[in-house]
Amino acid sequence: MQSPALSYSIHLEPEAHLFRVTLEIPEPDPDGQVLALPAWVPGSYTIRDLARHITQISAESRGAAVQLHKMATDRWVCAAVKGPLQIFYSVYALDQSVRTAFLDQLGGFFNGPALFLRVVGQEQQMHALRITGPDHWQLGTSMPRAAGETWGWGQFQAENYRAFIDHPLLMGTLTLLNFEAGGLPHHLLIQGEHQADLQALRRDMARICDWQQKFWGESPFREYHFLCKARSNDYGGLEHRASSALVCARDDLTGRDTKNYRRFLGLVSHEYFHSWLVQAIKPAVFSASSLERAELSRDLWIFEGITSYYDDLCLCRAGLISPEQYLQGIAQEWTRLQRRPGQYLQSLAESSEDAWLKLYHPHVNSANFEISYYNKGALLALCLDLSLRLESAGRLSLDNLLMRSWKEHGQTGKALPEGEALQQIADLAGTQMAEQLKTWIEARAELPLESLLARMGIALHSRPATGLSDSGGEAAATVPTAWIGAHWQSQPQGAQIRQVLSGSPAEAAGLSPDDLLVALEGMRCTADSFAGQISSGIPGCPLRLHYFRDDVLYETRLTPVTPPQDTFWLEWLEDVDAVVSARRSAWLTPA
C-alpha cells in the first residue's frame, strides 16, 4: 500500500518577493525527519547554495512546535514526532534567471529545486502541489494538473521528487500561443512586456518542433510547454522533461531584427532537442545523483556540445535559415574558439569535468586558460559528423549515432554510462574512428575543421578582427594594421581594460584588467580614440601609455604587433564536382 502523498502549498507575497511554502508530511521518519534542498539544479552544473534564499523555517505537529536543527548548510532534521509533520518556510525570490526563482507584482517564476525541500527517505512518494495567487494572473506549467482550470491556479502532482522538481512554473499576465507539432499540443507562454510577432513564432516554432519530432521518430512527452520570460536584454534556457524555461530580450521576439529573431529560434531548438538528448537519453552520472554534491563527468560535450551543433543545424534543415547563414554561424563559433588561448591548456574532457568550478564562474582571465564544452563540443560534433559522412561515403553520420542512443537508452530508460559514446562510435564506424574521437576529446589542440570542410567544398578563410565587436562569419573590406591583445570599455575618464590575453603586447606592457588608460603618446585618450590609434598603428613601434591603477598613475611602453588571423568566415565553393555537391546536400539541404 502506497503511503500518502507529500503535500506542498505555496502562497505568494509578490511585494516582498517571497514564496511562502507549507510542506505536509503525513508519515515522517520516526527517528526524526531529515529535509534537504538540492545543492545544484539539473542541467546547470555548479553548486548554487540555494538554501541561502530560505529566510525562515519552522516545524509543527498537531499544532505544537517541533524542534528543527540545521545539520548542514542545506539540510535540517526535525525532532522525532508521532503523527503528521508540517514544515513552514519562506523563499526569497529575486533572480531573473531560469535556474532559481523570481517574484514581484508583475509576475513570477520558479524552478523546483529552488523551492521544494526534499523529504529524505521519501523521494519515491507521490508529491502534490497546491498554489494560489492573484486572481488576474495565469499559471503555466507542464506538471500534471489534478484540479483547477487550465492556465489557472490549482493542484498538481508528480510521481516522485525528481519529477516534481522538473516542471517549472511561470505565472503572471501571460501571452499564450498554442500550436501543434508532430501531432502533439505545444504551448508558448510569454511573461513580460513584448511586441512579439505571434504569427511568425507559431509558424517557425512549429517547423522546428516538427523537424525534431521527425528526426527522432518518437516523442518522450505527450504535451510540451515553452515558458518564456521577455526582458530588456537577457538570454538563456534550461531543459525539463516536458517543458523548457527560456529568458530572452523582448526585441528577439519581434522579428524586426533577423539576427536576434534567429537567436531566439536557436534557443528554442536547443532546449527542445534536450527533450531527447538529456531528458530521455540521460547521463548516468547525473540521473543517479541525489543533487547533494558535484558529480564530475567528462561527457558534457555529448549532451551540450552535440545539442549545440544540432540547434542551428535543425534551423537549416527545417528551411528557417539558408546554408550560407548556417555556415556563418559555424565560422563565428570557430572564431570564438580560436580567440581563446585556453584551448591549448584545457581539453574538451577537462572543460566538462571543470564545469562546476569554471564554466559557470567566468572572469576576466577565463579565455586564457579554459574553453567551453558548448562551443568546442559543437565544433567537435561537426568534425565527427563530417568525418563519418566522408569516411563512409555518405552511409553514416552523427544522425546514426543519435538514433542508436535513442533506441538503446531513450526508449529503454537506461541511462547512458560515462564514456560509452566511444564504444558506440567503435561499433558504428570502427575502432580507428573511435580512437580519433578520443584524441579530439582529450587533446589540448585544434580540431581539423579546415581540412574536413574543404572535402565538403567549403573553404575556411581567416583575417584580423576589425574591432572589439567583430564576431566573424563575414569577409571584411579593411582590417587593422596593429594589435595589442586586450579588450576595453568606455569610461568617462578614459578606456578601462576588461581582458588581457596571454602572450599579448598588453600583457608584456604590464597591463591588467581594470586599469584605466588615460593618455597615449601624451594625448588624452578615450575608448574610441585609443582603438583608432592602435588599429592604425605601426607594428613594432613602442607607444608611451599612461594609466591609473587603484588611483595611482603609471607609465609603460606598449608595443603593438601585427594582428593575428583569428577571425574566420566560410565560403561555399560553386566549382565542385557532383560527389562533393551531393555530400553537401545530404548534410545541409532541408528535408
Cell of 189: 507562454
Q: How far apart are CA 67 and CA 24, in angstroms?
A: 16
Measured from the Cβ of residue 1, the count of other Cβ atoms closer than 10 Å reads: 2
Measure the CA angle with vertex 392, ends 387 and 398; round to 5°: 50
Q: How far apart are CA 449 and CA 456, in angstroms?
A: 11
Would you say residue 589 lies in a domain?
no
Task: Domain count for the chain, please give it.
Answer: 4
Measure the CA angle with vertex 562, ends 556 and 564; round to 5°: 110
pTM across the whole model: 0.96
Ranges of residues in the chain whose predicted pLDDT is under 70: 1-2, 591
Domain endpoint, select from 172, 195, 218: 172
The answer to whether the beta carbons of residues 467 and 535 sit under 8 Å apart is yes
Whether residue 149 sits in one domain with residue 178: no
Residue 482's closest CA among 433, 530, 429, 544? 530
CA distances from 36 to 76, 119, 163, 300, 347 (A): 6, 7, 16, 26, 35
- Domain of 78, CATH number, reads 2.60.40.3650
Whether residue 340 sits in one domain with residue 320: yes
Q: How far apart are CA 564 and CA 486, in angstroms?
A: 12
Q: What is the pLDDT of residue 3?
A: 77
Q: What is the pLDDT of residue 1?
A: 53
Q: How far apart are CA 531 and CA 468, in angstroms?
A: 9
**DSSP per residue, 427-444:** HHH-HHHHHHHHHHHH-S
Domain endpoint, select from 152, 172, 192: 172
Whether residue 164 sits in one domain with residue 43: yes
Residue 564's closest CA among 423, 463, 416? 463
Domain endpoint, select from 172, 187, 214: 172
Whether residue 518 sits in one domain with residue 372: no
pLDDT, tens only, 165-185: 999 999 999 999 999 999 999
Whether residue 206 sits in one domain with residue 230: yes
Q: How far apart are CA 80 and CA 485, in angstroms?
A: 63
Cell of 6: 507529500
Structural domain span for residue 94: 6-172
Would you say residue 457 lies in a domain?
no
The answer to whether the beta carbons of residues 190 and 196 sit under 8 Å apart is yes
Would you say residue 87 lies in a domain?
yes
Kind of pairing between the strands at 174-181 and 169-172:
unpaired
Would you say residue 552 lies in a domain?
yes
Q: How far apart are CA 286 and CA 133, in angstroms?
A: 34
Whether residue 230 sits in one domain with residue 92: no
Q: How far apart are CA 21 and CA 301, in angstroms?
A: 37
Would you say residue 134 lies in a domain?
yes
pLDDT, tens only, 95-151: 999 999 999 999 999 999 999 999 999 999 999 999 999 999 999 999 999 999 999
The terminus-to-terminus CA distance of the chain in angstroms comes to 51
Whether residue 220 sits in one domain with residue 159: no
Residue 226's closest CA among 257, 256, 196? 196
- Domain of 246, CATH number, reads 3.30.2010
Measure the CA angle with vertex 101, ends 261 and 78; round to 5°: 155
Would you say residue 30 lies in a domain?
yes
Q: Can you tell me whether residue 96 is helix, strand or coil?
A: coil
Residue with C-alpha cell 579546415? 450
Whether residue 160 sits in one domain with residue 39: yes
Residue 111's closest CA among 239, 7, 231, 18? 239
Q: How far apart are CA 132 and CA 92, in angstroms?
A: 17
Q: What is the pLDDT of residue 2?
A: 66
Helices 375-391, 398-405: axis angle to 10 degrees equals 110
Measure the CA angle with vertex 119, ends 114 and 120; round to 5°: 115
Q: How far apart are CA 492 and CA 498, in angstroms?
A: 15
Q: How far apart are CA 400 and CA 500, in angstroms?
A: 43
pLDDT, tens only, 234-289: 999 999 999 999 999 999 999 999 999 999 999 999 999 999 999 999 999 999 89
CA distances from 565 to 26, 465, 466, 541, 562 (A): 66, 8, 11, 20, 9
Would you say residue 574 lies in a domain?
no
Whether residue 392 sits in one domain with residue 337: yes
Residues 6+ apart with CB under 8 A from 171: 12, 107, 108, 109, 133, 137, 138, 139, 140, 191
- Domain of 377, CATH number, reads 1.10.390.10
Residue with C-alpha cell 558548448? 374
Whether residue 195 sits in one domain with residue 126: no
Q: No. of H helices and E strands in the chain? A: 18, 29
Cell of 333: 563559433
Residues 6+ apart with CB under 8 A from 487: 468, 497, 498, 499
Whether residue 351 sits in one domain with residue 401: yes
Q: How far apart are CA 252 and CA 273, in angstroms?
A: 20
Residue with C-alpha cell 521519501? 122
Whether residue 305 sits in one domain with residue 413: yes
Would you say residue 475 lies in a domain?
no
Residue type, 178: N
557: β partners = 544
**DSSP 8-state class, residue 106:** T
Q: How far apart are CA 378 and CA 396, in angstroms?
A: 18
CA distances from 120 to 26, 59, 166 (A): 14, 16, 18
